[in-house]
Amino acid sequence: MRNKFNKYFFCLLLLGCVGLLPCSNTNAQSILPSFGKSRSGTSGFQFVKITVDPRAAAMGNSVVADATDGSSLYWNPALAVQSGHSEVQFSHSIYFMDITKEYVSYVQHLKTIAVGVSLQYLNSGDINETTEFQPLGTGLTFRTIHYSLGLTVSQKLTELFSYGLTVHFLDERIEEIQTKTESVDLGFFYRVGDTGLRFAIGLNNFGPDAKPTGDTQRITLDGSQTEKNFQKVSLPTTFIIGAAYDAYKGEHSSLMISGQLTNPSDNAERVSVGVEYGFMHRFYLRGGYQFGVDEVKYPSGGIGVAFPAGKHSFNFDYSFSPYERLGNIHRLALKISI
């Protein structure tokens, strides 16, 4: 009876999250009004919003309550201590317009505490330089630099509850202009006994505004001018609440469903749902969808394969995320349990 109650409760939670979405009918109202679109483009450091791991991307970015691998340092630091083993992860994302993003993380377990380090790096590729007077290009190219270095501490207070904190150092550079600051991720995780139901709350990318430094030359009608006064840049702070539920656990197969409500400071709210089917604890099939994202019209998907090697294991993940006009995103990851 208790398991049935939890299953029904989780389904109601997902339906409630979907109900928070703004309706397309202009006469309809929602609990969370769609004020977020008016905030688009109001913050910097956008690269930190690009999903770093294929498992989460395949499940529609709905893993804040179930990212117990190296991606926990990105999604929810409270989960870093939940896996029970140390792990290193390498992820590669093939983004739009030849842009790539790399993610490396390492989690070390120390009984009821886990510590971790992570690195996000965005490679913009070569960008053609254009000006107001040469809109087709000057013949020169340039690159931008974006990276985030994080340090995480996670503690399990009981078998059911854990919390975590990540401190990031962020840096963005374009031409001679550099913008850097610090940010904090804070997460909480709670497991509802042995029911298979778990909840999580996260506050990511919270920190002070950043002041760009440096100067750059611009050609105007009055000749060459030096620009060195720039407005401060805010962080894309995000509040996340989510749940995950083990709908079925058998001897050879398992089924897990997840849901997440994401409320960013610089865009509209969105709801994500995902599912993961496991077979023989070796093969995984994943799918998911994001509600409230204009470019997302089709579900995302992915696969995972695990290979044991003595006391260690190797996991390979792949995901495919289709976007209506921007194109498709492919992600690959290798996770090694130590």
Which residue is it, tokens 């023989």?
280
pLDDT, averaged across the chain: 88
CA 6 to chain centre: 27
**Interval 196-206: pLDDT, tens:** 999 999 999 99
Of 275, 281, 276, 283, the residue nearest 251 (C-alpha): 281
Q: Which two tokens stand for residue 160?
A: 């059911």
- Note whether 299 and 288 are within 8 A (CB): yes
Contact 59, 301 (CB under 8 A): no
- For residue 11, pLDDT over 80 is answered with no
Q: What per-residue confidence (pLDDT) applies to 223?
A: 76
Tell me the C-alpha distance between 63 and 224, whole Å: 50
Task: Report the C-alpha gap between 193 and 82 in whole angstroms.
Answer: 14
Q: For the ranges 41-45, 87-91, 110-114, 311-315, which has the lowest average pLDDT?
A: 41-45
pLDDT at 19 over 60: no
Distinct helix (H) and strand (E) counts, the chain: 3, 18
The residue behind tokens 């610089």 is 266
Instruction: For residue range 105-150, list pLDDT tens digits in order.
Output: 999 999 899 999 999 999 998 888 888 788 888 888 888 999 999 9
Q: Supply the pLDDT for residue 16.
A: 46
In whole angstroms, give the CA distance from residue 81 to residue 240: 19
The pLDDT tens digits of the residues spanning 247-274 come to 999 999 999 999 999 999 998 899 999 9
Instruction: Return d(Cα 280, Cα 278) in angstroms, integer.
Output: 7
**Cα 334 from Cα 4, distance rounded (Å):** 36
- Ranges 37-51, 174-188, 318-332: which has the least confidence: 37-51
Whether residue 22 has pLDDT greater than 80: no
3-class secondary-structure state, position 307: strand
Q: Residue 3 has what pLDDT? A: 52
Mean pLDDT check: name the lowest of 3-7, 233-237, 299-303.
3-7
pLDDT band at 225 (very low <50, low <70, confident <90, very high): confident
Provide the b/e sequence for 282-310 (b: ≥16 CB within 10 Å).
Answer: eebebbbbbbbbeebeebbbbbbebeeee
Number of neighbouring beta carbons within 10 Å of residue 28: 8
Cα–Cα distance measured from residue 282 to residue 268, given in angstroms and rounded to the nearest whole number: 37
Instruction: For each of the domains in the chain, give its residue range(s) and CATH number, in order of start.
Output: 2-20+54-337 (2.40.160.60)
3-state class of 79 per DSSP?
Answer: helix
Question: In whole angstroms, what is the distance from residue 155 CA to residue 79 CA?
Answer: 9
pLDDT over 90, % of the chain:
67
CB proximity list for 15: less than 8 A, separation 6 or greater: none
Q: Which of 18, 329, 46 is nearest to 179 (CA)?
A: 46
SS3 181: strand
Per-residue pLDDT of 70-91, as tens digits, reads: 999 999 999 999 988 999 999 9
pLDDT of residue 38: 53
What do you get for the CA distance between the two ends of the chain, in Å? Answer: 39
pLDDT (mean) for 42-61: 94
Give the whole-angstrom CA distance, residue 266 versus residue 40.
Answer: 5
Whose tokens are 């398991």? That residue is 3
pLDDT confidence of 28, banded at 50, 70, 90? very low
Mean pLDDT of all residues in 319-326: 92
Between these two residues, 202 and 231, which has the higher pLDDT value?
Answer: 202
